[in-house]
Amino acid sequence: MSSLLLATLAQQADAGQLQGRVVDSDSREAVVGVVLRASPVAGGTPAHAVSDTGGRFHLQELSPGTWKLVARSLAYHAGDTSIVVGDSVVTVVIGLVSLPLVMDEVVVHARRDAGRRPAAFVERLDLADSPAGADLPQILEQASGVDIRRYGGLGAFSSLSIRGSTSEQVLVFLDGVPLNQAVGGGVDLGTLPVGGVESIDVYRGAVPGRFGGNGLGGVIHLRSRPAGGPALAHLRAQVGAFGTKQLSASVGGRRNDWDGLLLVDYSHSDNDFRFLDDNGTQYNLVDDEWTTRLNSDFDSGRIMVRAARHVADSRVQLSHTQDVSHRGLPGIGNFQALHTRFDTRRRISEVNLFGPMADGRAGYRLKMYRSAERTEYKDLHGEVGTGTQHDRNTTTSTGLRLEGNVLFRGLLATLFGGGHQERFSPERRLDPQPFSPSSRRMGTRAGAEAELSGFAERLLLHAGVQMEHLRDDFADTESTDQIEHTQTLWSSRLGLVIDIVNGWKLQTHVGRYGRPPGFFELFGDRGAVVGNTDLVSETGLNLDAGLLYRGEVTHSGLRLVEVVIYNNEVDDLIRFVQNSQRVSRPHNIGRARLRGIETRARGVLATRLHFEGSYTRQRAENLSPFSFETGKDLPNAPPRRLRSRVTVDVSVLSLHYELSHESRHFLDRANLRPIPARTVHTTGVRCPVGDAISMAIELRNLTDNQVADLWGYPLPGRAAFVSLDIDLSLSRN
C-alpha cells in the first residue's frame, strides 16, 4: 500500500508545472522540509523541491509526459506515485504516514499529539536572532537557571553552572559528541565558536539517556545547522568595540541525492577595554586608576563540512568540524601578564546512520565519532603560574553508540548501548625528564528508556535506567608501572507529564545521577595535586516539579509560562585539601543541598510588543563537615537572578531593551570574598535592508558598570556592536 494519498486536480494554465501541499495523513497538518524528487519515466533530468513552512512546494519547467514523484521525510514513510504532466498545472495533496524514527540525537516518535514533551525542563535558545557580537557564554546567559563565570571579554575562559552545580557536573555536547574530558575541569566555553550553531538546548534536571544519563548538574547541547534544505548562501559580518570582528560564511543545499553544507567562521577581538584598577588595595581609593586590558586578544576559526543522503529508507550523515583558537592570558587586573598565551585545536568527525525497521514500527540509529583536542599553555616569563611553564596536552577520544526503539500501542521503548575510549597525553616541554605519562579511560554503557501514555493520552510516564562501567589506566611517573582503577556508575530517572487543560501541563521528575572523578583527582598532576585512587563518584538525587503552559501562536497573549521548584541533594563531593604548603589531595568529604524556584514567561501584546523574562531564586547550601563552611552559600551561586527583554516593532524596525540583574554572592566557600550585586542594561535595533539583508545594532552595558565575575578579572564596560546578515537563495525555483 502506497504511503502517498493523492488528490489530483487540473486547471488550465501554462504547461509543465506541478504544485501541491504535503500534510500528515492523520492530523492533516502541514509537513515541513519534505524532499520531493520528480523524475521523467522516459529519461531526462529530475527536478527537486522542498516543502516550505506551509507544506507547499512547486516544480516548474516539466516536460509533458509521465513523471515519477518520490517524497521523503525523516519522520514519515517514503512513498512514490506516477503523475501525468500535460498542458495544465497539476495540483496534488500528499498525505504522509508517520513512523517512529531515531533522528540525530532526538528520538522522533510520530504521534497525533505533537505537543507532548518528555518530563525534562528544556529551554531552546535560537541563535537566528542572537545579539550582535555575542559569543557562546553571552548567549547562554539568557537561559533560566544558568550562571556563567567569565575571566574577561570575547574568547576568555568561561565556566558554566546550572542550578548551582559546579562546571564539572554539567555535560556539554556538540551535535551529540561529548566535549567534557576525563582529565576533569569542566568545558571552557570561551574556546567554542558559535559559527554554524543553529540552536542550543539547555536541560535542567532530567537528563535523557542519549546524553549518557549522568549529567549531575544538567546538559548543554549545541546543535549545528544540518546539511540540506533550500539551496542558500549565508554571510554574517560583525564589528564592534575593542577591535571585535566576526565573519561567517556558509553555503548549503541539495545536489542530486546529496545534501551538503560548508561553513567557515572567523572571530577576533583585541579586548583592550579600559577598567578601573584598584592596584590590589580594595579599600584604598587613592591609588585607583583607569587602565587598559593588555594581552587579552583573541582569535578563533572554524571550518565545518557536512554531507547527508538517503540510502533506501535510511539516512547517512557525515560531519567534520575543525576549531582553532589563539588567545592571551592577561592574568589579574592589577598585575597583568604581557606574554602568556593559550592555544586550542579541536577536530571532531562523526558518522550517523539511522532509519526505520519492521515496516515503520521500529527505528534504529548508529553513531560513531572521533575527536582530538590539543591545548598549549606557554608562560615562559612566570607571569601567571609558579615558575616558567610550557605545556602541551593532547586528548583523543573515540566512541560508538547503537540505539533502537519500537512503538507498540501506547508504549515507546528504547534500548541503547555503546563504548568509548579517551587518552590524555601531557607534555612538559621545559621538563628535562623525557618520560611523559599518559592516561586512558575506557567505558561501556547500556541502558533502556520507556515512554508510556494512557488515560486518553493525557498522562505520559517516562522511565530510564543506565549502567556505565569505566576503567582507567595511568602510567606512574615514579616506576613507569600502570595503575588501574575501575568503577561502575548507575543512573535512573522517572518522570510524569499530565496534560491538564488548554495547553497547561504538570511535569515532575526524580532521578539519581553521578560524576566520576577525573584523571587529576585520581592520579594527580606531577605537581600541586597528589592523586587519590580511593575516590568514589559524586552522586546526586534530583527532584523537580512544575507547571508549564505553551499557547498557540496568536497575535497577542501568553505563549509560554513555566514555574518550577527543584531540590537537589549532592553527596560525596570531591574536595581538595591542602596537606602541605603547595600540595593538595582530593577527598570525598563534601555535601550540598541545591534548592530553588525558576520562573519564565513569553508573550505578545497588541501584536507589536513582545516580552520575555525569567526570575530564579535559589539557595546553594554547603553541608560539608568543616565548621567555617557548613551552612554557607556555595561559590558562584547568586541567590537571585533576573532577566527581562522587551521588543517593540515600529514599522520595519525592531527595537529591544534588556535588563539583567544578579544579587550579591561569594567567590569562596567560607563566604569571605563577596561579589557585589550588579545590574546591566542593553538596548538595540534590528531592521531589514532589502529582501535578503538585515542589520542589527546593539549597545551593551549602557551605564558603563564596572563589573567582574571574579576578583581581579574585569569585564568590558559600555560597548557597541553592529551585525549584518545576508541570505542569498541559490535555488532556481
Cβ atoms of 118 and 497 closer than 8 Å: yes
Q: How far apart are CA 145 and CA 203, in angstroms?
A: 10
Among 36, 68, 98, give the residue marking a domain's end.
98
Q: Look at the block and give the residue holding cell 536572532.
A: 129
C-alpha cell at 209: 539517556
* pLDDT for res 333: 85
pLDDT of 214 > 90? The answer is no
Could you give the 3-state DSSP secondary structure of residue 705?
A: coil
* pLDDT for res 732: 54
Q: How far apart are CA 607 and CA 603, in angstroms?
A: 10
* pLDDT for res 436: 63
Q: Express each pLDDT in 319-342 by its tens digit.
A: 999 999 999 999 888 889 999 999
Task: Give residues with Cβ within 8 angstroms of 106, minimum separation 6.
Answer: none
205 and 242 belong to one structural domain: no
Residue 39 maps to a domain: yes
Q: How far apart are CA 701 and CA 260, in angstroms?
A: 40
What distance lies between CA 153 and its chain's CA centroid? Answer: 21
Residue 700 maps to a domain: yes
187 and 177 belong to one structural domain: yes
> What range defines the domain where residue 158 resides?
103-223
Among 98, 120, 146, give the residue marking a domain's end.
98
* pLDDT for res 431: 77
354 and 300 belong to one structural domain: yes
Q: Express each pLDDT in 181-205 by its tens digit.
A: 988 888 999 889 988 898 899 999 8
Task: Look at 88 and 617; give whichever has higher pLDDT.
Answer: 617
Task: Look at 105 and 237; give whichever has higher pLDDT.
Answer: 237
508 and 454 belong to one structural domain: yes
pLDDT band, residue 616 (cuts 50/70/90): very high
Task: Look at 583 and 21; give whichever has higher pLDDT.
Answer: 21
Q: Express each pLDDT in 260-286 by its tens digit.
A: 999 999 999 999 999 988 887 777 778
Residue 438 maps to a domain: no
* pLDDT for res 295: 94
The CATH number of the domain holding residue 177 is: 2.170.130.10
> Worst-scoring range by mean pLDDT, 212-221, 251-260, 383-392, 430-439?
430-439
Residue 441 maps to a domain: no
Q: Which is it for strands 609-622 and 584-605: parallel, antiparallel or unpaired?
A: antiparallel
Element (H, E) at 520: helix 519-523
The CATH number of the domain holding residue 634 is: 2.40.170.20
Residue 165 maps to a domain: yes
* pLDDT for res 111: 35
* pLDDT for res 134: 84
* pLDDT for res 9: 34
Phi, psi of 225 (to 5 degrees): -65, 130
364 and 512 belong to one structural domain: yes
* pLDDT for res 284: 79
pLDDT of 687 > 80? The answer is yes
Cβ atoms of 183 and 395 closer than 8 Å: yes
- Per-residue pLDDT, averaged over 412-438, amounts to 84
Task: Tell me which DSSP letter residue 288 carries.
Answer: -
* pLDDT for res 4: 39
Domain count, the chain: 3
**Percent of the chain whose pLDDT exceeds 90:** 44
pLDDT of 526 > 90? The answer is no
C-alpha cell at 361: 514500527
Residue 437 maps to a domain: no
Mean pLDDT of all residues belonging to the chain: 85
pLDDT of 86 > 80? The answer is no
* pLDDT for res 553: 62
485 and 560 belong to one structural domain: yes
Among 195, 223, 251, give the residue marking a domain's end.
223
Element (H, E) at 14: none
pLDDT band, residue 695 (cuts 50/70/90): very high
Cβ atoms of 137 and 161 closer than 8 Å: no
Q: How far apart are CA 310 and CA 649, in angstroms?
A: 42
Q: How far apart are CA 19 and CA 697, in angstroms?
A: 40
- Per-residue pLDDT, averaged over 374-402, amounts to 90
pLDDT band, residue 8 (cuts 50/70/90): very low
* pLDDT for res 409: 77
Cβ atoms of 107 and 116 closer than 8 Å: no
Task: Look at 283 and 347; give whichever has higher pLDDT.
Answer: 347
Task: Tell me which DSSP letter residue 456 carries.
Answer: T
142 and 219 belong to one structural domain: yes
* pLDDT for res 13: 34
Residue 434 maps to a domain: no
pLDDT band, residue 435 (cuts 50/70/90): low
79 and 228 belong to one structural domain: no
- Per-residue pLDDT, averaged over 486-508, amounts to 91
390 and 265 belong to one structural domain: yes
Residue 433 maps to a domain: no
* pLDDT for res 139: 92
85 and 121 belong to one structural domain: no
What is the C-alpha R_g of the chain? 27
Spell out the alpha helix ranges (H) of 6-158.
Answer: 136-140
58 and 196 belong to one structural domain: no
254 and 181 belong to one structural domain: no
pLDDT of 679 > 70? The answer is yes
- Per-residue pLDDT, averaged over 203-228, amounts to 84
The CATH number of the domain holding residue 61 is: 2.60.40.10
* pLDDT for res 31: 82
